[in-house]
Structure 1
Amino acid sequence: MIEVQDIRKEFKTPVVKEGRFSGLRTLFTREYKTKEAVRGISFQVEQGEFLGYIGPNGAGKSTTIKMLSGILHPTSGEVLISGMNPHKERRHVVKNLGVVFGQRSQLWWDLPVKDSYDILAKMYEVSETDKKRRLHQFSELLELHTFWETPVRKLSLGQRMRADLAAAMLHDPDLLFLDEPTIGLDVNAKRSIREFLTLLNKDFGKTVLLTTHDMDDIEQLCSRVMVINNGELTYDGTIQSLRDTIGLPTLITVTYRGAFQVPDQYGMESQAQWSSSPSGTVTAERAQTSIRIVNVTGSTVTVEANRREINTLEVMKELGSWGELDDIDMKDPDFEDVIHKVY
C-alpha cells in the first residue's frame, strides 16, 4: 500500500543579518541555512495495517505525512502509494487517499456541515446515491445529525473532528492519514473517534497511518508503531516488542494468605548472597538483580521485575516461595513511559 525509500526533506531559511544596514545588505547578498527535517527514512505499509507514527515535536512526523500525501516534495528518495507517485500522479492518488489534520479543517468555515459534504462529493465525483449512503452510515456512527445544519465555525472541537473524519472518508479511500486527530478532545470525543477508526480498520479493511502525542491512541488502535526522532527512524515494530526492547520493569503486586517471609537478601541495604531460592529455580544473584521490592504493606508486597532477565513464571515461583499466594496483579509500564525512554 505504501512504499517509502530513503526519503529526505531539507528546508532552507534565510539567515537574518545583524548590524547597521543589514536590511540593505540582504537585498544584494542573501545567505541561507539548511535544516534536514527528514533523513533517509524507508519503510513499507501493507494493506489493512493500523500504523502509529510517533515522535517528539519537530521530529519530522508531519513533514513525512505531507510528503506521503503529495503536499510536499521530498528533496530526494521515492514515495509510492498503491504503486503511484503522489507528486507525479497526484490526481489518481488522492482518489484513494483520505487526510485529516487535527489543527486544520477541510470543511468550509461559514457553511453548514452538510453543504461542505455536497461540495466535497462534487470534487471527488461521488455519486448522489453513494454520498447519501455513506453519510447515513457516518451519521449513525459519528452522530453527525446533531450538528448537520450548523456552520462549521460554530462546532465544538469534538464535533469538527467527527465531521472532518466523515469528510475524509466520503469518497471511500482505502488509505487514511491522520495527523493528531484527537488533539484537545475530551474523553467522550476521543472514545467516539477511536471506535470509528477501529471500525474502519477492522470491519472495512482501511489502512491507517496515525501520528499523535496521545499514547492511549497508540495502545488502543495500532498494531505497529514507528518512532521518529531528529528526522530519523529509530524504531519500527510492535508495541510489545518496543516495551521489551526498552526493558522497563513490570510492576507485580501479590497478596499473601497468612504469614509470609521476605528473604533478608532482598532488603535495600543487605548485600548478602545465598545459594538458591527455596523453589530451586532462581539463583540468588539472578533474583536479586531481576526483582526489586517496591513496597510492603500488611500482607501485600509490590515488586518490580525486569522481564528481559527473568520470565513471569520464574518471578511467580520466587514470590510463591515467600508464602502462600492469595491474589496477584501485574501491570506493564505505561506506554508513555516507554516512549519517553525512547526519546
Structure 2
Amino acid sequence: MSVIELHGLTKTFRTYRKDKGVLAAVKGLFHREYTETKAVDAVSFRIEEGEFVGFLGPNGAGKTTTLKMLSGLLHPSGGEARVLGFVPWERRDGMKRQISLLMGQKNALWWDLPARESLELNRAIYEIPREDFQRSVDELTALLDVRDQLSVMVRELSLGQRMKMELIAALLHRPKVLFLDEPTIGLDVVSQKTVRDFLKHHNAEQRTTIILTSHYMQDIEELCPRVVLIDHGKVMFDGELDRITSEFSANKIVEVKFSSAVSCAFSHLGHVLEQKPDELRIEVPRGQVAAVCRAVLDQAPVADLTVSEPPIEEMMRKVFGDRKS
C-alpha cells in the first residue's frame, strides 16, 4: 500500500466579490456575488514509503493548498486522499502522531521561549519518553550544528538557526511522513547546504517519506529523484527528475575553452549565451550537437569542450513560462 494516495483531489475557494462605491456596499447587504477559484483541480498521484518527492510549480499553482489538505489543515471540495491509511482531514490522532508539516514562512516554535523549552513542549504534546527525547535532541542538534543555541530565545536566533530548530521540532516524534513547504526560503547558502545534507541523511537513515516544495532548484536537484509539477491546480508532470530534460528541453549547452584568444563569431551555429576571447557558451538543438562541435573545432583552437543539459531552472521557466504569479 502507498504511504500517500490522492485521487481527483480538488479544492475550490469561494470569495465575496464587492464592487466599488456606497451603493454596491448597500446592495451587498442583501445580495452577494461570489467568485470561485479552483486552487487544486483533480490532482492524483501516489508516493511510496521512503520516497523523497519534489512538488514544484509557480506561485499560486496549488502546492501549499495540497500539502495543507494532506496534513489535515484543509478539507477538500472533492476527491479522495489517504496518508498512512488515514483520511487526513478527519485528523485522527493515529495519523497526527505520524506526520509533520514544516512551513518555511510560518513559525512553529514559541517566540519568547528558549529553543530548548519549545522542544520540551513538543515532547509533552507527543508524549515522547524523556530518554528518547534527549537522544533525539542530541543527535539532531549535532547534525544541524545548533547545540550551542538551545538556550537562546527563539526570537534571538538567526533565520538559519531558527529554521534548523523548527526542523528539529518537526522531527522529534520521528514522523513517518514529512511535508516540507519552502524549508530553505531566505537562508544563506551555507545554511541551505546544511539543511539539504541533513534531510538527505535523515531520509536515508529513517526511510521517512518526504514531499518538498522549494523555489531553490538546487534543493530539488540534490534531494528529489522524482518530481511532480503542478500548474493551475493540475498535475503537468510526474516522474524522474532526469526525464524533465528530455521532455521539456530540446537543446543542449556546448561550453568551449580556447587555447588562445578568438574573435570570430559563432552565432550562425546556435544561440550564443556567452562569448569571451577565451570562452564560449552556446545553446544548440540536441540533434545538431555533433555538427556544432565539429564546426567549432574546425573554426578555432579548442583547449577543452563539454556538452551539458540546460540548468533545471531554465527548463522550469520554459514549462511555466506563460504562467502569471
CA separation of 1:187/1:256 partners in 2, compared to 1, >3 Å: closer, same or farther? closer
In structure 2, what residue type is equivalent to 1:158? Answer: G
Per the alignment, in what secondary structure is the counterpart of residue 146 of structure 1?
helix
1:214 is aligned, of 213, 216, 223, to 216
Which residue does the alignment assign to 2:316? 339
Which residue does the alignment assign to 1:113? 115
Rounded to whole Å, the distance in 1 between the matches of 2:91 and 2:281 is: 58
CA separation of 1:267/1:31 partners in 2, compared to 1, >3 Å: closer, same or farther? closer
Rounded to whole Å, the distance in 2 between the matches of 1:194 and 1:159 is: 14
- Contact 1:251/1:304 (<8 A) preserved: yes
**How far does residue 267 in structure 1 lie from its aligned partner after superposition?**
7.0
Q: How many residues align?
A: 317
Which residue does the alignment assign to 1:82? 84
Q: Greater shift after overlay, 319-328 or 54-63?
A: 319-328
Which residue does the alignment assign to 1:283? none
1:178 is aligned, of 153, 177, 180, to 180
Rounded to whole Å, the distance in 1 between the matches of 2:156 and 2:239 is: 41
Asked if 1:244 is matched to 2:267, the reply is no
Per the alignment, in what secondary structure is the counterpart of residue 173 of structure 1?
coil
- Contact 1:99/1:168 (<8 A) preserved: yes
Rounded to whole Å, the distance in 1 between the matches of 2:291 and 2:146 is: 52
Which residue does the alignment assign to 1:273? none
Asked if 1:64 is matched to 2:43, the reply is no
- Contact 1:65/1:177 (<8 A) preserved: yes
Which residue does the alignment assign to 1:43? 45
CA RMSD between the two structures: 2.7
Q: Greater shift after overlay, 152-161 or 81-90?
A: 81-90
- Identity level (%): 36
1:19 is aligned, of 14, 17, 21, to 21
Which residue does the alignment assign to 2:285? 306
Which deviations, in whole Å up to 9, do the C-alpha atoms of 1:35-83 show, x marking residues without a partner? 1111111011111111111111111111011001000011000110111
CA separation of 1:102/1:293 partners in 2, compared to 1, >3 Å: closer, same or farther? closer
Which residue does the alignment assign to 2:56? 54
**How far does residue 331 in structure 1 lie from its aligned partner after superposition?**
3.4
Q: What pairs with 1:279-294 in structure 2 (closer than 5 Å)?
A: none
In structure 1, what residue type is equivalent to 2:307? Answer: M
Asked if 1:330 is matched to 2:307, the reply is yes
Q: TM-score, normalised by structure 2?
A: 0.88
Rounded to whole Å, the distance in 2 between the matches of 1:241 and 1:234 is: 13
Per the alignment, in what secondary structure is the counterpart of residue 103 of structure 1?
coil
Which residue does the alignment assign to 1:275? none
Which residue does the alignment assign to 2:323? none
1:102 is aligned, of 97, 101, 104, to 104
Rounded to whole Å, the distance in 1 between the matches of 2:136 and 2:164 is: 14
CA separation of 1:21/1:140 partners in 2, compared to 1, >3 Å: closer, same or farther? same
Asked if 1:169 is matched to 2:146, the reply is no
Rounded to whole Å, the distance in 1 between the matches of 2:253 and 2:35 is: 48
CA separation of 1:297/1:167 partners in 2, compared to 1, >3 Å: closer, same or farther? closer
Per the alignment, in what secondary structure is the counterpart of residue 64 of structure 2?
helix
Per the alignment, in what secondary structure is the counterpart of residue 305 of structure 1?
strand
**How far does residue 296 in structure 1 lie from its aligned partner after superposition?**
7.2
**How far does residue 306 in structure 1 lie from its aligned partner after superposition?**
2.3
Q: Greater shift after overlay, 31-40 or 64-73?
A: 31-40
1:153 is aligned, of 155, 176, 200, to 155
- For the pair shown, which has the larger CA radius of gyration, 1 or 2? 1
Q: Which runs of 5+ in 1 are unaligned?
A: 269-287
Q: Which runs of 5+ in 2 are unaligned?
A: 321-325
- Contact 2:138/2:147 (<8 A) preserved: no
Which residue does the alignment assign to 2:237? 235
- Contact 1:114/1:148 (<8 A) preserved: yes
CA separation of 1:313/1:115 partners in 2, compared to 1, >3 Å: closer, same or farther? same
Which deviations, in whole Å up to 9, do the C-alpha atoms of 1:286-337 show, x marking residues without a partner? xx7xx66777766866543322x35x67766676677896422233211111
- Contact 2:7/2:45 (<8 A) preserved: yes
CA separation of 1:127/1:295 partners in 2, compared to 1, >3 Å: closer, same or farther? closer
**How far does residue 159 in structure 1 lie from its aligned partner after superposition?**
0.9
Q: TM-score, normalised by structure 1?
A: 0.83
